[in-house]
């Protein structure tokens, strides 16, 4: 991929991701093993770069060391990410890898490459917060129902009870490269009192209007994509929601 033009490189990346998607579990395992064994950092380059840095520790010798220790497979993954809709496909690829690691822990170093890249690609600065309501796109609402695992929803009526009332708030993080795929979402109930248990929040008739509430109960938070395991969203989302609620409802 290194000697071809940009358009051809994108086409090759798309073909590679399409070919990967057609693999069975055994084929995916073989692909991961090839990435691990065939696209590793060159030990001789690492030794030379380290020797140069050890002899003269400086920014000038540190950069070549950084370059030497980075496995070429990270460059390959970056190039695959140039394909259309590639980011979500690579997230799903990592989910496959995590499943494969359960049977073959020797693949674990490869996961460090995915985690390293995703930490940058899914940096907080790229995330977009949205309030989810009954008017949100149906595709998003369906995904919310599918991904809710803390307090599963029983259908559209159950979802509406969590979105529509004035004393309910629902927020999610999205990423520009993953479209309408929520990465994490949080459900909030606005009340006058701290509930002793969750059942009244889920089942009881609605109480105060939002403007009368003094308590915000964060009763469910869900990460949605297995391939983003270890990428921290929750703390950022909660802080952002707290700030938005405080601005909208000063009585909280």
210-224 pLDDT per residue, tens = 778 899 999 999 999
Identify whether 227 is part of a domain. Answer: yes
Give yes or no: residues 141 and 32 share one domain: no
Of 73, 96, 121, the residue at which a domain comes to its end is 121
209 vs 24, which has greater pLDDT? 24
Q: What is the DSSP letter of 217?
A: E
Written as six digits, the tokens of 163 are: 């979105």
Sheet containing strand 168-174, edge to edge, reads 128-131, 168-174, 184-191, 215-223
What are the CA-CA distances from residue 156 to residues 69, 126, 134, 140, 146 (Å)? 51, 30, 10, 13, 11
CATH number for the domain harbouring residue 230: 3.40.630.180
Mean pLDDT for the chain overall: 93
242 and 144 housed in the same domain:
yes
Domain boundary among 105, 121, 137: 121
Token pair listed for 166: 């004035």
Domain count along the chain: 2
132 with 180: CB under 8 angstroms? no
pTM: 0.89
**What's the confidence (pLDDT) of residue 60?**
95
Same domain, 56 and 167: no
Instruction: Report pLDDT digits (tens) over 93-107.
Output: 999 999 999 999 999
The CATH number given to whatever domain includes residue 58 is 1.20.140.90
Residues 76 and 183 in one domain: no
Annotate 83-113 with three-state secondary structure: CCCHHHHHHHHHHHHHHHHHHCHHHHHHHHH
What's the CA gap between 21 and 17, in Å, rounded?
6
Helices and strands: H and E segment counts in the chain: 11, 4
Same-domain pairing of 117 and 170: no
* Residue 239 belongs to domain spanning: 125-248
Whether 94 is covered by a domain: the verdict is: yes
pLDDT tier at 56, thresholds 50, 70, 90: very high
146 and 202 together in one domain: yes
Is 3 a residue whose pLDDT tops 60? no
Residue 1 lies in a domain: no
């Amino acid at each position: 991929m290194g000697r071809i033009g940009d358009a051809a490189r994108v086409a090759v990346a798309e073909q590679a991701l399409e070919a990967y998607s057609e693999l069975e579990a055994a084929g995916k395992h073989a692909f991961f093993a090839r990435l691990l064994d065939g696209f590793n950092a060159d030990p001789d380059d690492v030794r030379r770069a380290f020797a140069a840095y050890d002899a003269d520790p400086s920014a000038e010798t540190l950069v070549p060391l950084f370059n030497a220790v980075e496995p070429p497979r990270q460059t390959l993954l970056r190039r695959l990410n140039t394909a259309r809709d590639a980011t979500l496909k690579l997230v799903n690829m990592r989910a496959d890898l995590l499943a494969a690691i359960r049977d073959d822990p020797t693949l674990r170093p490869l996961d460090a490459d995915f985690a390293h890249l995703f930490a940058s690609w899914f940096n907080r600065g790229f995330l977009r917060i949205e309030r989810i309501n009954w008017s949100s796109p149906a595709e998003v609402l369906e995904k919310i129902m599918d991904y809710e695992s803390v307090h599963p929803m029983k259908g559209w009526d159950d979802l509406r009870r969590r979105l529509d009332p004035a004393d309910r708030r629902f927020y999610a993080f999205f990423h520009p490269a993953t479209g309408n795929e929520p990465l994490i979402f949080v459900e909030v109930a606005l009340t006058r009192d701290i509930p002793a248990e969750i059942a009244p929040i889920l089942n009881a008739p609605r109480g105060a209007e939002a403007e009368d509430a003094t308590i915000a109960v964060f009763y469910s938070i869900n990460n949605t994509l297995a391939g983003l395991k270890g990428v921290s969203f929750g703390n950022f989302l909660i802080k952002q929601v707290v700030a938005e609620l405080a601005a909208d409802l000063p009585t909280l």
